[in-house]
Structure 1
Amino acid sequence: MIPVQGVQGQKIAVLGLGRSGLATARALKAGGAEPLLWDDSAEARAKAEAEGFACTDLMRNGAFDGVAALITSPGIPHLYPQPNKVIARALALGVPVDNDIGLFFRSFATTAWDNFEVAPKVVCVTGSNGKSTTTALIHHILTVAGRPTQMAGNIGRGVLDIDPPQDGEVVVLELSSYQTELARALTPDVAVFTNLSPDHLDRHQGMGGYFAAKRRLFAEGGPDRCIIGVDELEGQFLAGQLAQGREDDRVIRISSGQKLDDFGWSVFARKGFLAEWRRGKQVASIDLREIPGLPGAHNHQNACAAYAATRALGIAPRVIESALLSFAGLPHRSQLVGERGGVRFINDSKATNVDSAAKALQAFPRIRWIVGGMGKDGGIAALQPFLGSVVKAYLIGFSARDFALQIGDTPHEICETMDRAVARAAAEAEPGEVVLLAPAAASFDQYPNFEKRGEDFTAKVRALIG
């Protein structure tokens, strides 16, 4: 646990009692604060009270009397499309609103560091797609390299739930736009921006607000090194804002597809090969084509980001290459579930939007595509240019019939359920083809989250192939 500093004797309200909310309450208590907790769920409140915490309805009169701050969970809207009523009240009363990320950054460094030979560092990863894989890959490389490391944030543990860092340790955090937008303190040593594509637009009032939320990690965080994906205009703009010029190697530009050999420091992948360039010279190269845990151009971008981040931390290219080869990948992200009769079954349930689904569709040559769920704004019409590799689509969920109208002449079948989609795709697949779950939609019509959807696909496949 990371005890929160600077809260001794203060009343601190905590809204939302999920994983991060309870971890925050414990860390506040360890720092000497008096946490006042609330969640609309009676079950969540009961769990908190079982740990000895006081739950207080923050909408009752006088609830914020003497409260120094409100700490809110990331899933609770604080601005758009409209703020949660408790947050709105705190703002009206002038009570500072923060989140666990802000508390972490103001509490991470302690006087214990005075005895360390190497100060601990924090690497933060944000962007639209690839955050989790990049975060896990950085953590994996550091582990292989023998560096003490912990992983937290949007993946793994809550940030305040991790152990106090050791001498020379590196904490790797995956941060969403919800987290970066609200945190009152952001001071990473290395920050990574993977890419940007439309997502969560209701929470940020459009693309401009979404990009602005990501940008805070860099513009206000002031990292020593910035790793910026420049395959979209926003990344190019951000790199240009952060660098003093093209030779400024505090900014490491990364790309999957572009040759970036005219900058102070860059890492890019082309035709399956990763290359590192510094000041006009290539200094390292890695063949990514046969790395099983990193299939496709989108994963090659993740590899570039993780490579750049760990190079910025002083890890040697050969060590990084060895770690890439042993990386198993993450569940629900281009995960190989199994193989039967020359047909591979790939679980990419995390492909919940058009951009991530497009990347999955470009990763394999012949695809039996399981797609559908609760469609997002715009549906999947934008995927038309990427359907050349699709042999047939098997449509599931609430938006199945709408999606069928948006895929043009691509052969398709409306299956509605995962069970039928897996059975039909497996029955029709031929050797050399891939049965790919890449839904391009949210899961909430049939599943509580994308993980449960991916687990259902995995279970159906494994029952089928034995």
Structure 2
Amino acid sequence: MIPVQGVEGQRIAVLGLGRSGLATAAALKAGGAEPLLWDDSPEARIRAEAQGWICHDLGRSDVWEEVAALIVSPGIPHLYPQPNRHVARAMEAGIPVDNDIGLFFRSLATGAWDHFDQPPRVVAVTGSNGKSTTTALIHHILTAAGRPAQMAGNIGRGVLDLDPPADGDVVVLELSSYQTDLARALTPDVSVFTNLSPDHLDRHGGMGGYFAAKRRLFAEGGPDRAVIGVDEPEGVYLANQTAMGRGDDRLIRIASGRKLGDWGWSVFARKGFLSEWRKGRQVASVDLREIAGLPGAHNHQNACAAWGACRALGLAPREIEAGLRSFAGLPHRSQLIAEAGGVRYVNDSKATNVDSAAKALQAFSGIRWIAGGLGKEGGISALKPHLGAVRKVYLIGHSARDFALELGDLPHEICETMDRAVAAAMAEAAPGETVLLAPAAASFDQYPNFEKRGEHFTELVQAGLALRD
């Protein structure tokens, strides 16, 4: 645990009692504060009380007396589409509102660092797609190279639940736009921006607000080195705002599918090969095509981002390449769960929006595509250019019929449930084809989260293959 600094003797309200909220309460208490816990969900309060916490109803005026700050969990809106009523009350009263990320950055460094040979460093990864894979990949490369590292944030543990970093440690954080938007302190050593596509727009008041939330990691954070994907206009803009000129190697530009020009430092993937260029010459090259844990162009972009971050930390190309080759991938993200009878079965349940589904559809051939769930604004019409490899679509969930209307003449079947979709796809798949779960929709109509959806798909595939044996 990382005790929060500068809060001794203060009453601090904690709103939201999920993983990060409870870790925040414990870290505040360890720092000498009096945390006042609350969640509008009775179930969350019951779980907190079972762990020994006392909940304080933030709807009561007396609870707010002498409260020094309100710490908000990521899922709770503070501005759009409208502020949570407790957040609004704090802001109207002039009470500072922050989150666990802000507390982490202001509390990480301690007096012990004065005696370290190598101060700990923080790598923070943001973007629309690929954040989790890039974060996990950086962490894997570091540990495979013998560098002590911890991973947290939007993946794994809450940031304040980490162990205080020791001499030479690296902390790798995945940060969502919800987390970067509200944090009052953002001071990573290396910041990574993977890409940008529409997502969470209601929470940020549109695309501009969404990008602005992610941009804070660079504009407010002032990292020593920035690794920025320049495949979208926003990335090009961010790179331009970050660098002092073409040769500024404090910025590492990354791209997928094209060669980058004569910049100070760049890493790009083209035709399955990763290349690193610095000061006008190539310094490293890796064939990514046979790395099973990183299939498809979107994962090649993730590899470029991880390569750039690890090079910024001082790792040698051979160390990074070894880490890439031993990376097994993350569950629910283009995860190969089985291969039998010449058919591959891939779980990409994390493909909850059109852009991430498009990347999955471009990574495989002969696709039996399982899609659907709780569709997002705009449906799946934007996927039409990426359906060339799809043999048939098996539609599930709330948006199955809406999605069917957008598929035109492409063969499809409304299955409604995962059970029916998997059974149909497995029965019809031929050698050389891929049964792919890439829903292009949220999971909340039928599952509590995308992980449970992916686990159900995996269980059904494994059960179906067992019956064949």
Q: CA RMSD in A?
A: 0.7
Amino acid in structure 2 at the alignment position of 1:58: L
What does residue range 266-345 of structure 1 map to in structure 2 within 5 Å?
266-345=266-345
Distance in 2, matches of 1:80 and 1:106, equals 26
Amino acid in structure 2 at the alignment position of 1:152: A
Q: Deviation digits for residues 221-246 of structure 1, max 9, x if unmatched?
A: 00000000000000000000000111
Amino acid in structure 1 at the alignment position of 2:461: V
Distance in 2, matches of 1:322 and 1:389, equals 32
Q: Deviation digits for residues 151-203 of structure 1, max 9, x if unmatched?
A: 00000000000001011000000000000000000000000000000000000
Query: What is the match of residue 249 of structure 2?
Result: 249
Amino acid in structure 1 at the alignment position of 2:457: F
The offset of 1:408, in angstroms, is 2.0
Query: What is the match of residue 367 of structure 1?
Result: 367
The offset of 1:59, in angstroms, is 1.4
Amino acid in structure 2 at the alignment position of 1:17: L
Amino acid in structure 1 at the alignment position of 2:405: L
Amino acid in structure 2 at the alignment position of 1:431: P
The offset of 1:40, in angstroms, is 1.5
Distance in 1, matches of 2:54 and 2:380, equals 46
Answer yes or no: is 1:135 the counterpart of 2:135.
Answer: yes
What does residue range 106-255 of structure 1 map to in structure 2 within 5 Å?
106-255=106-255
Query: TM-score scaled to structure 2, two decimals?
Result: 0.99
User: Secondary structure of the equivalent of 2:173?
Assistant: strand
Distance in 2, matches of 1:434 and 1:96, equals 51
Query: TM-score scaled to structure 1, two decimals?
Result: 0.99
Amino acid in structure 2 at the alignment position of 1:228: I
User: Secondary structure of the equivalent of 1:369?
Assistant: strand
Q: Deviation digits for residues 208-267 of structure 1, max 9, x if unmatched?
A: 000000000000000000000000000000000000111111110001112113100000
Amino acid in structure 1 at the alignment position of 2:265: W
Q: Deviation digits for residues 30-83 of structure 1, max 9, x if unmatched?
A: 000000010112232233234333311111122211000000000001100000
Stretch moving more, 43-52 or 330-339: 43-52
Amino acid in structure 2 at the alignment position of 1:144: A
Amino acid in structure 2 at the alignment position of 1:141: I
Distance in 2, matches of 1:29 and 1:58, equals 18
Distance in 1, matches of 2:238 and 2:73, equals 27
Amino acid in structure 2 at the alignment position of 1:184: R
Distance in 1, matches of 2:49 and 2:434, equals 49
Query: What is the match of residue 60 of structure 1?
Result: 60
* Structure 1 consecutive aligned stretches of length 4 or more whose deviation exceeds 6 Å: none
User: Secondary structure of the equivalent of 1:54?
Assistant: coil
Answer yes or no: is 1:438 the counterpart of 2:438.
Answer: yes
Q: Is the 8 A contact 1:35 1:54 kept in 2?
A: no
Distance in 2, matches of 1:169 and 1:7, equals 25
Amino acid in structure 1 at the alignment position of 2:80: Y
Distance in 2, matches of 1:306 and 1:357, equals 21
User: Secondary structure of the equivalent of 1:463?
Assistant: helix
Q: Deviation digits for residues 311-369 of structure 1, max 9, x if unmatched?
A: 00011101111111110000000000101100000000000000000000000121000
Distance in 1, matches of 2:430 and 2:53, equals 58
- Stretches of structure 2 lacking an aligned partner (at least 5 in a row): none
- Stretches of structure 1 lacking an aligned partner (at least 5 in a row): none
User: Secondary structure of the equivalent of 1:282?
Assistant: strand
Distance in 1, matches of 2:445 and 2:3, equals 39
Distance in 1, matches of 2:180 and 2:309, equals 19
Distance in 1, matches of 2:256 and 2:233, equals 14
User: Secondary structure of the equivalent of 2:387?
Assistant: helix
Distance in 2, matches of 1:230 and 1:122, equals 22
Q: Deviation digits for residues 73-96 of structure 1, max 9, x if unmatched?
A: 000011000000000100110000
Q: Is the 8 A contact 1:261 1:281 kept in 2?
A: no
Amino acid in structure 2 at the alignment position of 1:188: P
Distance in 2, matches of 1:357 and 1:346, equals 12
Query: What is the match of residue 73 of structure 1?
Result: 73
User: Secondary structure of the equivalent of 1:63?
Assistant: helix
User: Secondary structure of the equivalent of 1:248?
Assistant: coil
The offset of 1:289, in angstroms, is 0.1
Distance in 1, matches of 2:293 and 2:51, equals 40
Query: What is the match of residue 3 of structure 2?
Result: 3
Query: What is the match of residue 30 of structure 1?
Result: 30
Query: What is the match of residue 464 of structure 2?
Result: 464
User: Secondary structure of the equivalent of 1:403?
Assistant: helix
Q: Is the 8 A contact 1:69 1:98 kept in 2?
A: yes
The offset of 1:115, in angstroms, is 1.4
- In the comparison of the two structures, how many residue pairs are matched? 466
Stretch moving more, 402-411 or 5-14: 402-411
